[in-house]
């Protein structure tokens, strides 16, 4: 069964089409990554799943229910921008958010204690929110979305702005949730996190679904035309070779997208001098993202829209 | 329904725990006492100057009386620290030397250089009405200062009248006796007692007729404003820190709105009850049990409920349409105006509680809770049909406003950026 099922969902704001004819199935127990540039429709999609916005057309089923409002009590939700009452104590706030979803104190308190301890916040339980650091507040916000022991958790940008240690503890928490059988949907701008954490990836661009599938499916669709090289002279030295469409310069190495044959390029490089590293790789999610959402594509899309 | 109470309870605790609330409760009586005390003090102590003025007395008979009266006046106002009013010091100037114009020019220059405060000119024929009998002329550089000319008018008129009577052969003392003014004392109406006898009417007093209506008016204001203002701030804070999205992801916007309204209503009731408890204590202490009218309390809480819900909805709707406190402040001004209207009208209402203005105003729903409450607190009180009609109108309006606020709230709470204009807000209501 699907935890979330969107069937040809469209949402307009005035003349602007925020989400266009979107269909999506999120299988239960999976970790699903939502990616896409700012303003492409991620948050609108999430808000429709949360029944904060209603679609203009199409059907949404969440946790097997057509009335997504009824499902809401089984969904944990972490909105994109953090919302915590500054003057409230941590435990009070977590209780309040849980009670708004119809739980009582007795069922909430053990969960609150368990997660505060797991994320190293136990001593902060009776402190006010505005005494917490940003990272701690973000962890509290995360806990607030799961105190109800939800079956589905929707996290909008859960890792943004966190230091590596805090980010790792939240990633561990997400994996722990999956072990417990919880479906996790999260949106992110961090492609490497999406690559490592997600079972499936969904990309929305200008309201349209442009990617949907496992990482392998997505990568194979974009071919094996990527080569990672390391040569003396770096990106500048590569400019004179033919068959290179674009160079993504990481300084110590360069990712090349080829229109020609990788073997031919290797021969040419060897002829030219010392090759320190040469690897035919799959395009990274980052590359795929940029390829879809780069400015040239944007122009093309605009033209397509005009001609349509 | 449980979640509405969860929100209400949280809103109640948040508001009651703020320092502002506690300080508000404690400080309000202190501030009011200070304000009254200051006014009393200011009225007595602001003007303790010595006002010297020159007198050109063409009649030659009025100055001595002015000087004597001034001496008596100054003694009455006390000296030094204990002085409670201005001292008036006249000095006689004779226009015999130069021309009258030169004398007046000279005196004017002395006023300009602060050597004198003013000077007056008393015409020669002021007593017998002959010649230039006209007016006493008062010359000053400070025309807004009235105590001195007022005092001169009183004293001069008394003296002139005395001289006129004397000249006509009438004893001024007799005139004073015959002219003695008779007071009018004000009573309530007479009732037939249970034993059949006719009871005695009670003398009306300022506390029952003027203080009580204003007490109810201010209490209503304070209770409503505490709640409404908190709602506006809270909702804008929730929007600014993006809490609203968490909230509406868990609970229907309308339930959220109802919870918030319920919470501040409870706070308003608590606030009013605390003050009533204080008031009842004062009444019991002073033995003025006639001021204790339970029907008024019942009306008060009914109107308070409506007022908090009405203004609460308005402020919530406003807050949900704003993205930051600056927006909120400018949006609040019309709402504040709305709430000021009953206050401005209250003075006209208390003078004539049965005027058509008062009746009309007490049927305007946003004004009703305040003005109808005032009229109820004033004898004889409005006719019952007016009270019932106003309650009906207020209930209908309140229901409508809560509903409309719910519609605006639903859209506004997720809006970011530019504050909407009125047509947009109206579209939200209809959508």
Mean predicted confidence (pLDDT) in A129-152: 89
Put simply, whether A101 touches B (Cβ < 8 Å) is: yes
Find, among A293, A300, A204, the residue nearest to A10 by Cα: A204
Contact B241 A82 (CB under 8 A): yes
Q: Nearest CA to B225 among B214, B236, B217?
A: B217
Highest mean pLDDT (candidates A171-185, A255-269, B322-336): A171-185
Over residues A112-141, the mean pLDDT reads: 90
Buried b (16+ CB within 10 A) or exposed e, B61-72: ebbebbbebbee
pLDDT of residue B132: 64
Residues of B with CB under 8 A from a CB of A: 2-3, 6-7, 10, 14, 238, 241-252, 414
* pLDDT of A112 above 90: yes
Q: How high is the pLDDT of residue B419?
A: 65
Residues 6+ apart with CB under 8 A from A136: A121, A124
My answer on whether omega of the bond before B351 falls inside 30° of 0, hence cis, is no
Residue with tokens 């005027």: B355
**pLDDT tens by residue, A148-164:** 899 999 998 888 878 88
Indicate the average pLDDT of chain A. 85
Q: What pLDDT, on a 0 to 100 scale, did the predictor assign at position A308?
A: 44
Give the per-residue pLDDT at A152. 92
**Bridge-partner residues for B121, per DSSP?**
B56, B137
DSSP type of residue B210: I
Q: Are A272 and A278 in contact (CB under 8 A)?
A: no
Residues of chain B with pLDDT under 50: none
H helices of B196-211, in order, are: 206
C-alpha distance from A96 to closest chain B C-alpha (Å): 8
Percent over 90 (pLDDT), chain A: 21
Best of A48, A81, A83, A103 to substitute, by most chain B Cβ atoms within 10 angstroms, is A83
Q: How many CB atoms lie within 10 A of CB B124?
A: 15
Do A281 and A222 contact (CB within 8 A), yes or no?
no
| C-beta atoms of B6 and A86 within 8 A | no
Asked if A84 is an interface residue toward chain B (Cβ–Cβ < 8 A), one would say yes
Residues on chain B touching A158 (C-beta within 8 angstroms) = none
Checking if the pLDDT of A304 tops 60, the result is no
Q: Chain A to chain B, count of Cβ pairs less than 8 Å apart?
A: 58
Least confident of A77-91, A106-120, B260-274, B297-311: A77-91
Per-residue pLDDT, B416: 66
Å from A82 to nearest chain B CA?
A: 6
Nearest CB neighbour to B246, from listed A47, A83, A99 = A83
The backbone region for B60, taken as left when phi is positive above 0, alpha when psi lies in -120 to 50, beta otherwise, is left
Q: A230: which strand partners? A: A277
Cα B261 to Cα B312: distance, rounded to the nearest angstrom: 6
**Contact indicator for B72, B158 with CB cutoff of 8 Å:** no
Task: Compute the nearest-CA separation of A70 from chain B (Å).
Answer: 10
From chain A, the residues in CB contact with B418 under 8 A are none
Cβ of residue A53 closer than 8 Å to a chain B Cβ: yes
Backbone torsions φ then ψ of B356, nearest 5 degrees: -70, -30
Q: Determine the pLDDT at residue A299.
A: 55
Interface check for A54 against chain B (CB to CB < 8 A): the answer is no
């Amino acid at each position: 069964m699907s935890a979330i099922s969107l069937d040809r969902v469209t949402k307009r704001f005035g003349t602007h089409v925020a989400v266009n004819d979107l269909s999506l199935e999120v299988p239960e127990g999976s970790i699903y990554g939502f990616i896409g540039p700012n303003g492409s429709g991620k948050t609108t999609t999430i808000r429709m799943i949360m029944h904060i916005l209603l679609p203009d057309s199409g059907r949404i089923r969440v946790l097997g229910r057509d009335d997504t409002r009824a499902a809401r009590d089984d969904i944990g939700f972490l909105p994109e921008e953090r919302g915590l009452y500054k003057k409230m104590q941590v435990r009070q706030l977590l209780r309040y958010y849980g009670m708004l979803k119809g739980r009582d104190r007795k069922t909430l308190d053990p969960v609150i204690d368990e997660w505060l301890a797991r994320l190293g916040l136990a001593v902060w339980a009776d402190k006010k929110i505005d005494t917490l650091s940003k990272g701690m507040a973000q962890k509290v916000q995360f806990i607030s979305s799961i105190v109800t022991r939800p079956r589905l958790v929707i996290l909008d940008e859960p890792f943004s702005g966190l230091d590596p240690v805090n980010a790792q503890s939240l990633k561990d928490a997400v994996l722990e949730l999956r072990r417990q059988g919880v479906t996790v949907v999260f949106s992110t701008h961090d492609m490497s996190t999406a690559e490592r954490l997600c079972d499936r990836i969904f990309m929305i661009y200008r309201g349209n679904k442009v990617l949907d599938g496992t990482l392998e499916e997505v990568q194979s669709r974009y071919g094996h035309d990527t080569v990672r090289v390391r040569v003396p002279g770096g990106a500048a030295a590569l400019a004179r070779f033919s068959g290179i469409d674009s160079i993504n310069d990481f300084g110590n190495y360069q990712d090349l997208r080829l229109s020609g044959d990788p073997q031919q390029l290797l021969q040419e490089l060897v002829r030219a001098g010392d090759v320190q590293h040469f690897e035919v790789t799959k395009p990274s999610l980052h590359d795929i993202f940029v390829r879809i959402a780069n400015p040239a594509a944007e122009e093309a899309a605009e033209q397509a829209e005009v001609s349509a | 329904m449980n979640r509405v109470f969860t929100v209400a309870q949280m809103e109640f605790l948040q508001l009651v725990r703020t320092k502002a609330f506690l300080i508000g409760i404690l400080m309000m009586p202190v501030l009011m006492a200070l304000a009254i005390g200051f006014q009393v003090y200011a009225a007595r102590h602001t003007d303790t100057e010595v006002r010297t003025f020159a007198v050109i007395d063409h009649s030659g008979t009025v100055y001595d009386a002015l000087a004597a009266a001034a001496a008596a006046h100054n003694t009455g106002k006390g000296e030094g620290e204990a002085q409670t009013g201005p001292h008036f010091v006249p000095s006689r100037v004779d226009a015999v030397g130069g021309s009258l114009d030169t004398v007046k020019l000279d005196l004017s220059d002395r006023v300009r250089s602060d050597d004198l405060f003013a000077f007056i000119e008393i015409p020669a024929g002021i007593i017998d009405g002959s010649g230039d009998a006209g007016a006493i002329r008062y010359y000053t550089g400070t025309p807004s200062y009235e105590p001195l000319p007022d005092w001169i008018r009183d004293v001069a008129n008394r003296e002139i009248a005395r001289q006129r009577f004397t000249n006509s052969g009438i004893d001024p003392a007799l005139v004073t006796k015959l002219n003695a003014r008779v007071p009018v004392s004000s009573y309530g109406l007479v009732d037939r007692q249970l034993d059949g006898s006719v009871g005695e009417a009670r003398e009306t007093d300022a506390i029952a007729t003027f203080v009580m209506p204003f007490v109810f008016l201010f209490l209503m204001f304070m209770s409503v404003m505490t709640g409404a203002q908190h709602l506006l701030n809270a909702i804008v804070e929730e929007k600014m820190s993006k809490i609203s999205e968490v909230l509406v992801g868990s609970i229907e916007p309308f339930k959220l709105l109802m919870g918030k309204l319920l919470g501040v209503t409870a706070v308003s009731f608590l606030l009013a009850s605390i003050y009533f408890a204080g008031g009842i204590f004062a009444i019991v202490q002073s033995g003025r049990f006639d001021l204790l009218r339970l029907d008024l309390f019942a009306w008060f809480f009914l109107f308070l409920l409506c007022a908090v819900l009405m203004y609460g909805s308005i402020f919530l709707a406003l807050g949900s349409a704003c993205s930051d406190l600056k927006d909120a402040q400018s949006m609040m001004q019309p709402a504040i105006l709305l709430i000021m209207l009953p206050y401005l009208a209250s003075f006209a209402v208390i003078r004539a509680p049965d005027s058509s203005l008062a009746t009309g105003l007490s049927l305007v729903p946003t004004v009703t809770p305040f003005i109808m409450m005032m009229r109820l607190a004033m004898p004889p009180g409005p006719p019952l049909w007016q009270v019932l009609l106003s309650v009906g109108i207020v209930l209908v309006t309140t229901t409508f406003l809560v509903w409309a606020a719910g519609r605006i709230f639903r859209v506004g709470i997720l809006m970011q950026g530019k504050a909407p204009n009125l047509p947009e807000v109206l579209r939200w209501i209809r959508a």
